[in-house]
Amino acid sequence: MEINVRKKLEKINIRGKIERNISMNLHTTFKTGGIADFFAIPEDYNDIILLLEFTREHSIPVFILGGGANILVSDKGIRGLIIDMQKISNFSFHNNTCTAEAGLSISDLAKSAADENLQGLDFIYGMPGTVGGAVWMNARCYDISISDVLMSVEYLDKNLDFKTLEFEDIQNNFAYKQSPFQNSSNIILSATFKLDKGNKNDIQKNMELHKQDRENKGHYKYPSAGSVFKNNRTFGKPTGIIIESLGLKGYSKGAAEIAEFHGNIIVNKGEARSEDIRDIIDYTKKLVYEKLGFNLEPEIQLIGDWEKI
Ligand SMILES: Cc1cc2nc3c(=O)[nH]c(=O)nc-3n(C[C@H](O)[C@H](O)[C@H](O)COP(=O)(O)OP(=O)(O)OC[C@H]3O[C@@H](n4cnc5c(N)ncnc54)[C@H](O)[C@@H]3O)c2cc1C
């Protein structure tokens, strides 16, 4: 990026902030990843639009960051601009629905819904990440996908126009760990969820059970990004069991390791590099294919400057 463009980018007049050379290991749940050239934290939609207008005009690549809970950022970092959605986090309730902006923690939203005696998001309590990330990934746990409770999604399309994905589009275009946002540059601004009236105490009890279950399984013990590969019904078994059956639990490279508690989770046990994690992913994929013929599909997104490693 030319020096004068860099200077102009730093000076875009947004309410939020723009910083340079930010280490992504502070912004990923793996606690790995190199430097991002520019890192913006917009305060409102107008900030986002100003940033996008500039980056489009100057052909600067943009990455939208939620909670960083499903990404593996290259040790070489990310060129261009990261837009961190953390401050875009208002939410409101109306009858049995709630609308939440993309940067809000999905787990915090579940908690607030329970406070309003609304059930339907309790299944996702304890899962790291934001509303936007959960919609983008169509996050799923305890046999429920986020699309099962979604009513509509407001987003910015490639022309920077405000658009809404309605209920029928959601029914037709979301599938297991798939959303239409994965094949587009559209930016999720907010999502509306359809919930049911319930009893606050019962909902909170249910949420605690889910969180406890994650704790018992070891989810929060070491930095990770949850499941590395998708499950695939045609394989007949969950991916974690398939990986475990090849004796790969505990397999390590540097400080990265396939968790002893779950074959489909890679943990960072210290100062792991993203490259170590990537090597384990590639090795696992290769071995599972060679030994069992299953072609594992990664769930984790590889972000940044990977080719040059
Ligand atoms: C301990 C642990 C347990 C986990 N358990 C589960 C689980 O049970 N089920 C499950 O499905 N996942 C699980 N995960 C993975 C992760 O929590 C989910 O995938 C989550 O939805 C990621 O959200 P995020 O905000 O962190 O997204 P990020 O990792 O920040 O981003 C993921 C992708 O979404 C895109 N994105 C994010 N926000 C927007 C936006 N506003 N507009 C456009 N694109 C956007 C990003 O560009 C990126 O491509 C787990 C992770 C951890 C660390």
Annotate 87-119 with DSSP letters as a single string. Answer: T---EEEETTEEEEETTSBHHHHHHHHHHTTEE
- Could you tell me if 155 and 188 are in contact, meaning their C-beta atoms sit under 8 angstroms apart? yes
CA-proximal residue: ligand 1, atom 49 (nearest): 301
Q: Cα(133) to centroid of ligand 1, in Å? A: 4
Mean pLDDT over 74-93 rounds to 97
Q: 96 and 164: one domain?
A: yes
Q: Is the pLDDT of residue 221 over 90?
A: yes
**Residue 274 falls inside a structural domain:** yes
Q: Cα(30) to centroid of ligand 1, in Å? A: 12
Task: Choose the catalytic residue: 227, 257, 274, 275.
Answer: 227
The encoded tokens of residue 301 equal 């997104």
Predicted confidence at residue 107, as pLDDT, reads 97
- Which strands form 62-65's sheet, in the order they lie side by side? 17-23, 35-41, 78-84, 62-65
Closest ligand 1 atom to residue 135 Cα is 21
Q: 19 and 134: one domain?
A: no
Q: How confident is the model at residue 6 (pLDDT cuts 50, 70, 90)?
A: confident
Q: Is the pLDDT of residue 283 over 90?
A: yes
Mean pLDDT over 116-131 rounds to 97
Q: 198 and 253: one domain?
A: no
Residue with tokens 């294919």: 289
Q: Cα(242) to centroid of ligand 1, in Å? A: 23
Mean pLDDT over 20-48 rounds to 97
Q: Cα(69) to centroid of ligand 1, in Å? A: 5
Q: Catalytic: 227?
A: yes
Pocket test for ligand 1, best of 30, 87, 137 (most atoms within 8 A of CB): 137
Residues with CB under 6 A from ligand 1: 29, 63-71, 85, 102, 127-130, 132-134, 136-137, 139-141, 181, 187-188, 219, 224-226, 301
What single-letter DSSP state applies at residue 298?
Answer: B
Q: 198 and 278: one domain?
A: no
Q: 71 and 149: one domain?
A: no
CA-proximal residue: ligand 1, atom 8 (nearest): 141
Q: Which amino acid is at 271?
A: E
- Residue 89: HSE in the Cβ half-sphere, 13 Å Cα cutoff: 19
Choosing from 84, 100, 120, the residue where a domain stops is 84
Q: 117 and 172: one domain?
A: yes
For residue 296, give the CATH number of its domain.
3.90.78.10
Stated pTM of the model:
0.96
Closest ligand 1 atom to residue 71 Cα is 29
Q: Is the pLDDT of residue 34 over 50?
A: yes
Q: Say how far apart CA 198 and CA 116 lie, in whole Å.
A: 9
Choosing from 84, 100, 119, the residue where a domain stops is 84
For residue 103, give the CATH number of its domain.
3.30.465.10
- Domain range for residue 28? 3-84
Q: Catalytic: 299?
A: yes
Q: 117 and 207: one domain?
A: yes
Q: Say how far apart CA 131 and CA 129 lie, in whole Å.
A: 7
